[in-house]
Amino acid sequence: MHPMDRGRAIQRFEEIPKLVLGHYPTPVEKLARLRAAVGGGPRIFIKRDDYTGPGFGGNKVRKLEYVLAAALQQGADTVITCGGERSNHCRVTAMLAARLGLGCVLVLNGRGEEPKPASLAVEQWCGARIERVASREERAGRMEALVRELKKAGKNPAMIPLGASDALGAMGFVAATAELAAQMEVEGWRFDAIYFASSSGGTHAGLAAGRELFLPGSTELVGISPDDPAEEIQSTVTSIVQGLGQRLGVEFTGEIRVLDNFVGAGYGIESPQSRRAFELLARTEGILLDPVYTAKAMAGLLDAINKGQYSESQNLLFWHTGGQLALFHV
């Protein structure tokens, strides 16, 4: 990308309205004990977005700072979004909606778990209205129907996509990449690869665009799917990146890489690999992942190290996107 194009894109990015709801910068920590436990290899770091704060932390806060700013500008009095029963996105949306004085309607699919998932309890404590559907495929249609129903009732609803993963929400991770670049400059770090969970696409798209604006071009981004096939996620991420480019007036051309060989039995189900990764990080570093999302991404990073894909002179960053509340029920 030409420096002038990059400069104009960064200026446009900085002009996009956002709320400041999280606690930043989130820390970057070295995982020396984990590195020793796997027998050496590359140095391992972790970006602690489980410390963003609201809604018990996680990457969704960054996205919602942009999406909710737009909703408020449009005069919305209610937000509608969707997810599974243990959705981090839905929990954070419900808590931030309560903080901002907005109504909140959540379209959830799930088995009706007992005891109740902690995220679902939090959403209800925050006053969110829960709408149930039988499957993931039914969520979008029910949200659209709710928009029509609320408008007829005199409300002004704003619909937020799954994970707040559209071009606007992804700006949250363009900002996160700029935050990381500033930390790297201060500490003198370089990262050869960044590993993270990639599903609804917004985090991955924001990092991909942010890499071209703020990070060395050699930085590899490796998204690990916790649920869907790699081709589907790559397509979604590519579409969001194109939307980011349109908003910022540039074309992003970096590779979109997704691995789907750590999904295990499927969405929301832990695998033997994710369980081992979860337990190893907890035992060596006292850090909790969630069992079905970030733990699968950590399994992908550890597998790459075990296969000797990186040398001892290289640095890997694991981006912890939160989700530990999925461990708990009430």
- What 3-state class would DSSP assign to 248? helix
Pairwise CA distance, residues 318 & 294, whole Å = 10
Pairing of strands 258-259, 193-197: unpaired
Gap between the Cα atoms of 265 and 276, Å rounded: 15
Rounded Cα distance, 224 and 235, in Å: 14
Q: Which of 87, 119, 200, 274 is catalytic?
A: 87
Q: Say whether 87 is catalytic.
A: yes
Question: Cα–chain-centroid distance for residue 65?
Answer: 13
CA angle 212, 168, 263 (to 5 degrees): 75
> In Å, what is the CA distance from 174 to each residue of 30, 54, 115, 124, 145?
23, 20, 38, 31, 32
Both tokens assigned to 90? 């839905």
Which 3 state secondary structure label does DSSP give 313?
coil
Rounded CA-CA distance 82/161 in Å is 7
In terms of Cβ atoms closer than 10 Å to its own Cβ (0-12, 13-18, 19+), residue 120 is buried
Cis previous bond, 25, omega within 30: yes
**Count of other CB atoms within 10 angstroms of residue 308:** 9
Measured between its terminal Cα atoms, the distance across the chain in Å is 50
Whole-Å CA distances, 159 to 74, 104, 115, 150: 12, 10, 29, 11
Which residues lie closer than 8 Å to 236 by C-beta, 6 or more apart? 165, 200, 201
Catalytic residue positions, numbered: 87
